[in-house]
Amino acid sequence: MRFAKAAMLCAPLMSMAAYAQEPAVPATQTVQQMFDAAAAATNVGDHQKALAMLEALVKRVKNPRSLAIIRLRQGVALTELSRWNEARPLLERAIAELPEDDQSLEIDRGQALRALGDLEMHHLDYEAARAYFYRALAIQTDPLERLGALIRAAQAGRFVDGQKALADVDQAVALVASHFPKDKALVAMVGAARGDVLLNLGRFAEAETAFAAYVAAEGGLTRKVDYRDLVARSNASIAALLAGHRDKARQYLIYTGAGRLPKQDFTLGADMPLPLCGEEGIRPDDVAVVEFGIRDDGGISYSRPIYGSRQGAMPLIFARAVQQWSWRPEEVAEIPALFRMVTRLEVRCSVSEGGPSLADGARTAFFEWVEQRGGRRFEVEAASEIQRRALLVAELDRLRATAGSSKLSQAAALSDLLENPLVTGAQALAYGAALKDLLEEAGAPPQARLWSDWLILRSDYRVDLDPARYANDATAQGLAMLINYDRATRRRSQRSQAALEAVLGDSRLPQDHPLRTAALIRRAAAKVADKDMAGARADYLASGLTEQQCSIVDAAPKMKSFGGSSSDYPMDMVMAGIEGWARMQYDVSSQGSALNVRAIAAYPPMIFSGNATKMVSRSRFEPSYRPAGGLACSGSRHSIRFMMPN
């Protein structure tokens, strides 16, 4: 069996195949006919049909050698369908069972090793992947099989050892020149693989030339955009931008279909954590471009690095972070199929995980009360929010179906579900109502009820908490007033100074109570805005905080004026109709200036991050009081959209 050339040279990192319905296998075929039909299906890329035939063959074949070959091809088909966990045991068993001295199985064994390498690339272990590809290369004599192993080794190696990857891909180029010189598509494809390596070695102009040749071989810049077209043109655009050829980059970008946001900023996912600067050697100036796909349930189908501003494994760290991203299913349904299949972002590390919320105090009180009353919180071990949600839903269903189960354990599960960013809309309303009923039934204390109310209201900035609801508990009432104070936005309402005075004037709170301290810091900032520097200093000193502690408990400064205008939309992108966005991170000085502004995610890659940085840098924020003039807020975030006028 031999794969088509394109399949051999491109690792199967993703698939749009449907798994629900397996093709029927004719019962009248002989074993040999079924084997040949499975090979034919594989050669034309119908891996689902091939897999069905191979699974039927396993039940009819008894010979150990033949069974090993069938299992091997099952494993290869499963990797093509991205069913990685099912593929690994079949491939490893087949390799172990194939007779090592049987030279006729050289191609089969090599394909199994390459499939295991593809599996490791899917899991972003590029060193392990490269080792499998080298093992495959060592036993192959067939030129096309050697070519497949070399290209895959270079793809993995560009984020392990770039110079060695270049040597591997140069071998591939020489092999094509000697065995397939008239196959223009194959020449261009191998050239594009060389471009991938050159891009990550910083040789941008050479990479651009290689990608341009591949785009031409794929038919040039036409309105036809499938996965290969999108990847080829996107690669050429990135290389051209980095080489300083923005006009060429714009032309490539236009024909990717990217940069045209349909109904929403779909790449602003519900949960998009990025690596923290400093972790695993990541630096604030590191930039990566990561490609990924989105499953129908909102999870990531695959993630892979495309470019890193620094040689080595740095981009893999970003790709691993992207693997944990999640979208709300109702949002995924509105994303065009091509963008669900493949999207690319420019990403940087985050300098902050975000400071503590005032509501965290109510959260702690809620779970302490649940445990004191005999409830149990379900400990979820999951890598992503989509996995957490599924496990929590299953646990809630189990508790509800079990007679005599703790109502407070149900309350804990409902609380965790309401915190999950993927639980929204009608489902969130239902969970919120159920939690509120359980707490009323159990006679929950004010802080526990406050936590429930906060979970229900936090996404609706039109509604505030009602402090009177917690009047018999000074801490809960003070928390409610300060949460409302912090939630006030420039568009909706002014921050209520009366709320701060109410907290500070509540005799039930000790003089050193954290809520009084938080109110003092907020009042100090308000006095700075009124030019009452003496009053601000007095409140600051009364808080007893250091400047670092003050930054933690203070409210995030409100934006007074945004520094952007329509002129900040790059004119060449306006003319091309390219839309996009940038997610910004920045610090705010005590005088209200934005400092250390940087784009931590941007779409399309390399287009809007510079303009967005200038816009935030010109923005102004409410001043805060810091005796040494230090930062008022660190790690603030803001998203900027670049949208064409209607």
Over residues 18-41, the pLDDT tens digits come to 333 445 555 578 888 888 888 888
Q: Which residues pair with 580 in a beta bridge?
A: 642
Domains contained in the chain, CATH given:
5-157 (1.25.40.10), 279-347 (3.30.1150), 559-642 (3.30.2420.10)
Question: Which amino acid makes up residue 204?
Answer: F
Per residue in 321-335, pLDDT (tens digit) is 999 888 887 778 878
| 101 Cβ contact list (under 8 Å, min separation 6) | none
Higher pLDDT among residues 373 and 529, named by residue: 373
pLDDT interval class at 85 (50, 70, 90): confident
Q: What is the DSSP string of 178-226?
A: HH-TT-HHHHHHHHHHHHHHHHHTT-HHHHHHHHHHHHHHTTSS-S---
- Which tens digits make up the pLDDT trace of 134-160? 999 999 889 999 999 999 999 999 999
Does the structure show a pLDDT above 70 at 56?
A: yes
- Measured in whole angstroms, how far is the alpha carbon of residue 209 from the centre of its chain? 30
Q: Is the pLDDT of residue 45 over 90?
A: no
pLDDT at 6: 43
The rounded distance, in Å, linking the Cα atoms of 144 and 107 is 10
- H or E segment to which residue 87 belongs: helix 84-97
- Find out whether 556 and 636 touch, Cβ atoms under 8 Å: yes
Backbone torsions φ then ψ of 500, nearest 5 degrees: -65, -45
The alpha carbons of the chain give a radius of gyration, in whole angstroms, of 29
Residue 364 clears pLDDT 50, i.e. is over it? yes
Query: How far from the centroid of its chain's Cα atoms is residue 356's Cα?
Result: 23
Say yes or no to pLDDT of 359 above 90.
Answer: no
Burial tier of 230 (Cβ tally within 10 Å: 0-12, 13-18, 19+): buried
pTM score, whole prediction: 0.76
The count of residues in the chain is 646
- Is the per-residue pLDDT at 263 higher than 70? no
Euclidean distance between CA atoms 609 and 586, whole angstroms: 13
Phi, psi for 277 (deg, rounded to 5): -55, 135
pLDDT for position 326: 86
pLDDT cut 90: percent of the chain above it: 37
> How confident is the model at residue 491, as a pLDDT?
47
Average pLDDT score over residue span 580-592:
81
What is the rounded CA–CA span in Å between residue 328 and residue 428?
A: 12
Q: What is the pLDDT of residue 207?
A: 96
Report how far residue 181's alpha carbon sits from residue 174's, in angstroms, rounded to the nearest whole number: 10
Cis peptide preceding 604, ω within 30 of 0 = yes
Top-confidence range, 328-337, 383-392, 499-508, 585-594? 499-508
Q: Which parts of 443-586 fold into alpha helices (H)?
A: 446-457, 474-487, 497-504, 514-529, 533-543, 547-553, 571-576
Question: Residues with Cβ < 8 Å from 221, sequence gap 6 or more?
Answer: 215, 233, 251, 252, 254, 255
Q: Are 355 and 348 in contact (CB under 8 A)?
A: no
Between the alpha carbon of residue 210 and those of residues 249, 306, 356, 439, the distances in Å are: 14, 15, 49, 64
What DSSP string runs through 100-144?
A: TT-GGGHHHHHHHHHHHHHHHHHTT-HHHHHHHHHHHHHH--SHH
Q: Are the C-beta atoms of residues 192 and 212 closer than 8 Å to each other?
A: no
Confidence of residue 506 (pLDDT cuts 50, 70, 90): very high
Q: Which of 487, 486, 520, 488 is nearest to 503 (CA)?
A: 520
Looking at per-residue confidence, does 535 or 9 come out higher?
Answer: 535
End-to-end CA distance of the chain: 54
Confidence of residue 181 (pLDDT cuts 50, 70, 90): very high
Q: How confident is the model at residue 625 (pLDDT cuts 50, 70, 90)?
A: low
Residue 302 contacts residue 13 (beta carbons within 8 Å): yes
pLDDT of residue 14: 38
**Percent share of the chain, pLDDT over 70:** 87
Q: Which of 224-238, 252-266, 502-516 has the weakest average pLDDT?
A: 252-266
Q: Which helix H or strand E contains 603, and what residues bound it?
A: strand 594-603
Phi and psi at 608, nearest 5°, equal -105, -5
Q: What is the pLDDT of residue 354?
A: 55
The per-residue pLDDT for range 543-576, each reduced to its tens digit, is: 776 655 555 555 667 777 888 888 889 888 888 8
